[in-house]
Structure 1
Amino acid sequence: MALKYAYHPGNVAHSSAPEVADTMPPAARSLGIELIPLDGATSCGAGIIRQANDVLQVTLNARTLALAESKGLDIITPCAATAGNLHEDLTRLRDDPLLLAKTNDVLGRTSGLTLEGTVNVHHLLHVMVDEIGLDKVEANVRNPMRSRIAGYYGPNMQQEGACGDDDVYDPNYFEQLIEALG
């Protein structure tokens, strides 16, 4: 049975690494992941919108979360910034009923959506390790990597509650994936 997610390509697939947009759908298919496009989703703001208008970034991300929730799906993204920012704002909305109510008021008036907070956000790395399993990833490798590669987690990948079963302070999922890829 395929895993099914609302797919948010994130900023990385539209700007700095467009090859992600090309490779994500076939890679997902080969791993048994069904990607449902999240039509109408906006940029996560990458933390930049927050610097000028925190409420705007939370509301834009709440809209994206509500779009996925309306489909009954969790979100998957290959973008660390998107995973981190959506998770951060979802946590804030879950923890602050007043902020959630104000945000839902805006969402209702502007898009007819409501966020309950039942959706979750997953980075592709965590789905590959926690849900699919590295044994299946390894079995799908067609051209093993023969290079020396180092994983870089960055500031958005390892947030408490947002990194699957990986250790927040001593992560090793990238290293495990690199090994599985040959």
Structure 2
Amino acid sequence: MNYSYFPGCTLKNKALDLDKYARASAEALGFTLEEIPEWQCCGGEYPLAKDEIATKLPSVRALANARDAKQDLVTLCSACYNVIKQVNDDMQNDENVILKVNNYLAHDEIEYHGETKVLHYLEVLRDVIGWDKVKAAVKKPFTGKKIGAYYGCLLLRPGKVLQLDDPENPQLLEDFIKAIGATPVIYSQRNECCGAYTMFEDASIPKSRTEKILANAEDMGADFLVTSCPLCKYNLTKNKGNSKLDVIYFTELLAEALGLKEEK
């Protein structure tokens, strides 16, 4: 199985592990991520202004590229997934956006109407590979480890558009944790925002939010947290304070469970 792959900017610098281990694990599980040529930054934030068109163009170009390759589009970063899937929804349902975007892209001979299916890597594991197959491929299970899933907000909301999981009671990462042999820890802050987009305006907001998230997970017995969001990992790590919890990308855990991670 081949998928068009949109890595996004952060996976090329600050989140190299999220990308590296995803590629290795994909090959081991029987699918390939084919990086889209000459992709551009998705912007990292979905523009809410109705007249904001230009910042949606990179996402549309990536979507059109995947369509032309006759492949679904897979991404890993929660922010990229959020932006690209919302833009794809616009290109299916918002006539104003459809008209203006296609007018912009006409000189590139691109016309797009939301034909591409957008998937998060975790969806491929759940819906295509299946948790049973993932579990069967595990060589080094995390037996005895208690892992807290941290979703944040970008992976789940807006729920009607993303449709990845129940935004109030998600199970996707918990099922992943079970598949690699560990025990998921349920805690109330697992799908609360870490305050990522407020860090430049008021650093006290992400600090207080992340302290609450980490304390809650620690109180419930988590050994560490797992996430797919570089923004969340940055905030949770930077504002760690006295917390002993590490925050690890799910792809790194997957690669380790599959016996692919090199020994340090």
Q: Given the two structures, how large is their TM-score scaled by the length of structure 1?
A: 0.88
Aligned counterparts of 2:80 and 2:130: Cα–Cα separation in 1: 23
Identical counterparts, % of pairs? 28
Change in 2 beyond 3 A, CA 1:142/1:12 = farther
User: Gaps spanning 5+ residues in structure 1: where?
Assistant: none
Q: Which runs of 4+ in 1 moved over 3 A?
A: 50-53
Residue in 2 that maps onto 1:145: 142
2:119 corresponds in structure 1 to 122
Q: Is this contact kept in 2: 1:7–1:36, CA < 8 A?
A: yes
Aligned match of 1:132 in 120, 124, 129?
Answer: 129
- Unpaired segments ≥5 residues, structure 2: 182-264
1:176 maps onto 2:175 in alignment: yes
The answer to whether the 8 A contact 1:126-1:163 is kept is: no
Secondary structure in 2 matching 1:174: helix
Tell me what 2:8 maps to.
10
Larger Cα Rg: Structure 1 or Structure 2? Answer: 2
Structure-2-length-normalised TM-score = 0.62
Q: Could you say which residue in structure 1 is the equivalent of 2:66?
A: 68
Task: Tell which deviates more after alignment, 147-156 or 52-61.
Answer: 52-61
C-alpha distance in structure 1 between counterparts of 2:42 and 2:153, whole Å: 15
| 1:67-124 deviation per Cα after TM superposition (whole angstroms, max 9, x unaligned) | 1111111101111111111011111121112311210121121x33221311011101
SS in 2 for 1:5: strand
**Larger helix proportion of the pair:** 1
Offset of 1:51 from its aligned partner?
7.5
CA 1:130–1:45 in structure 2 vs 1: closer, same or farther (change >3 Å)? same
Quote the Cα distance in structure 2 between the aligned partners of 1:12 and 1:139.
31
Give me the whole-angstrom Cα distance separating, in 2, the residues matched to 1:127 and 1:75.
11
Root-mean-square deviation (Å):
2.0
- CA distance 1:107–1:87, change in 2 (3 Å): same
